Amino acid sequence: AMAQRLLQAVKAQGMPHQFSPASNVVTISLGLATRVGEQAQGSAVALLALADAQLYAAKHGGRAQVRGAVLELGAAPPPPAGG
């Protein structure tokens, strides 16, 4: 819900984006991640990697998108974004 409000608030500002072929106003895309389970060593790095991967998925999904995922305790981190 908060992420959708952020998307709408940025778009509502109507900031011109004169060099974009996709939209005449600035929009944002968001990648979110949350963790389930007890704290594990290195989990912050894995959580940030998952959020980054979700951001790239949102950008590839189109303009003004939100993507999110849950990092399970003991799960392998996602592959590096952009690759």
From first to last of its 83 residues, the chain has per-residue pLDDT tens of 899 999 999 999 999 988 888 888 999 999 999 887 765 555 788 889 999 999 999 999 988 999 999 887 765 656 666 65
Q: What number of other Cβ atoms are within 10 A of residue 37's Cβ? A: 12
Distances (CA, A) of 68 to 14, 35, 47, 80: 26, 11, 11, 16
pLDDT at 82 (0 to 100):
64
